Amino acid sequence: MWESQLPLLVVLLVLGTTAKVITVRSGGEPGALSRLGPAVLVPGRLRVPALLVCAAGELVLATGLLVTDHAIFRWATVAFFAMSTYVLLELRRRRPDAGCGCFGEVSSAPVGLRSIGRTVLLTGMAGVSVLAPVPGWVAVSHPSWLTAAGLALLLGLSPEIDELIERARFRAPCERRRGPSESATLARLRSSGAWRAHRDGLTSPEPYDSWRELCWRFFAFQNQDHDDVVFAVYLSGRRPAVRMAVVGSEGSESLTEYTPVSA
């Protein structure tokens, strides 16, 4: 029972290692590393080393979980996923446009509740595995229904599934896709909590300007105080993230608020 989640932990750690190495070797899309955690939290020259260090750490943990039952690898895995949860919370607060980078460039969607929920779940799985009396290879060779249940939960909490489906359909990353029409994106905005929270303060329900940057479409409005209210809608996924910023009319000071929808 206690070892039932070890196969999932080993596989996810190996996938994370592989995806990060591929992202670094391929170079990714232009500016990709500046939009992926943990690289986004460090200076530019350290972004590649940060991803590689993270990948190496995941590989060491996966190997330790697989070949031994030593407690140091079990507790280190708990600490790794707990730290990952903290990093995602920081990304959501400091860089709401950035992806978690958990699986390289495919994890480029803005951090949402699903990504955070997944690391919380993985922390719990790693905690349960501390009590496992056998090494991971034994659990891998004898998976149980609890392993399948854990897999189903992880798939449901993985926004990368949506991105992989989109890439399979369009054969191109988000930045290069045509994307939904402006009217369809505006409809997505108007169904979001960010819009409902701020629409009454706008002078008009129609934007006075709209433009696209990479995977985001921006809509600009004015509020009753003559400040600019800018909404940003992510162009990928079934439940796209929505962000909102209020910019003072004088431009000397700005107040920014981010209102995410689970991505």
DSSP 42-79: S-GGGHHHHHHHHHHHHHHHHHHHHH---HHHHHHHHH
The residue whose two tokens read 């690289």 is: 39
CA distances from 49 to 72, 101, 107, 170 (A): 25, 14, 18, 31
The per-residue pLDDT for 14 is 93
Looking at the predicted structure, is the pLDDT value of residue 54 above 70?
yes
pLDDT over 70 (residue 250): no
Residue tagged 């600009």 (tokens): 220
Res 254: pLDDT: 42
- Mean pLDDT comparison of 7-11, 34-38, 131-135, highest-scoring range: 7-11
**At which residue do the structure tokens 């910023």 appear?**
245
CA distance 261 to 167: 21
Give the per-residue pLDDT at 131: 87
Q: Pairing mode, if any, of strands 216-222 and 242-247?
A: unpaired
Buried b (16+ CB within 10 A) or exposed e, 85-105: bebbeebbeebbbbbbbbbbb
The predicted structure's pLDDT at residue 73: 93
Q: Is the dihedral of CA 105, 40, 117, 146 positive or negative?
A: positive
User: What was the pLDDT predicted at 262?
Assistant: 40
Grade residue 256 by pLDDT with cuts at 50, 70 and 90.
very low
Confidence at 127, pLDDT banded by 50, 70, 90: very high
Question: Which of 43-57, 207-221, 236-250 ranks highest by mean pLDDT?
Answer: 207-221
- For 135-146, how does the pLDDT look when each residue is reduced to its tens digit (9 = 90+)? 888 888 888 888
Specify whether the CB–CB gap between 195 and 242 falls below 8 A: yes
By C-alpha distance, which of 209, 238, 248, 5 is closest to 109?
Answer: 238
How confident is the model at residue 257, as a pLDDT?
40
Higher pLDDT, 100 or 206: 206
pLDDT band at 261 (very low <50, low <70, confident <90, very high): very low
- Give me the phi and psi of 110, to 5 degrees please: -55, 145
DSSP conformation class of 226: S
What does pLDDT average to over the chain? 80
Residue-wise burial string across 5-33, b where 16 or more C-beta atoms lie within 10 A, e elsewhere: bbbbbbbbbbbbbebbbebbeeebbeebb
Give the pLDDT mean for 156-176.
73
